[in-house]
């Protein structure tokens, strides 16, 4: 069974902001003549790479809730210009909204088993994704979602 990661999406207050950021970065890479792949850089390298790449995803925590995920396609280690070992979590740029799941703030990333991961949005329900983003965020701020 696939293993997943969960990470805070710092600086984003909605899935739409994350999508806009991804589009911006992909366009930036294309203009620079680089491959149009999306990745997230972390300092810590996961030790369970094989399990993560066996269908795992990176689940994003936005405003205190897991709200979406992106499929992990590769995990690449490298050493930066300062000699610090780092890791690129290479992601499918497609964002998959999930049922919201509350999460307290934490640093770095955490493993997330498939059993503990939230279902994709609409899994047997109409879900929050059908609400306009502004209304969804306002209801969440009021603690109603």
Three-class secondary structure assignment of 62-73? ECCEEEEEEEEE
CB 4 within 8 A of CB 10: no
Phi-psi region of 122 (alpha: psi -120 to 50; beta: other; left: phi over 0): left
For 126-143, the pLDDT digits (tens) are: 555 566 767 766 776 666
pLDDT over 60 (residue 41) = yes
Residue 113 pairs with which residues in a beta bridge? Answer: 3
Residue 125: which pLDDT band, with cuts at 50, 70 and 90? low
Residue 53: which pLDDT band, with cuts at 50, 70 and 90? very high
pLDDT at 134: 72
pLDDT at 2: 85
Nearest to 67 by CA among 103, 91, 101, 18: 101
The first and second tokens of residue 125, run together, are 């329900």
User: What's the rounded Cα separation, in Å, for the pair 87 and 30?
Assistant: 22
pLDDT at 121: 85
State pTM to two decimals: 0.84
């Amino acid at each position: 069974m696939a293993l997943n990661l969960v990470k805070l999406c710092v600086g984003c207050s909605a899935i739409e902001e994350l999508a806009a950021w991804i589009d911006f970065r992909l366009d930036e890479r294309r203009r620079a003549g680089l491959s149009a792949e999306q990745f997230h850089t972390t300092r810590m390298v996961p030790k369970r790479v094989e399990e993560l790449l066996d269908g795992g995803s990176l689940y994003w925590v936005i405003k205190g809730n897991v709200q979406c995920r992106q499929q992990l396609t590769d995990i690449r280690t490298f050493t930066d210009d300062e000699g610090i070992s780092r890791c690129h979590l290479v992601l499918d740029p497609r964002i998959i909204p999930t049922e919201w799941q509350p999460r307290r703030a934490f640093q770095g990333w955490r493993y997330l088993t498939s059993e503990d991961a939230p279902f994709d949005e609409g899994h047997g329900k109409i879900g929050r994704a059908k609400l306009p983003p502004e209304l969804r965020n306002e209801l969440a701020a009021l603690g109603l979602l």
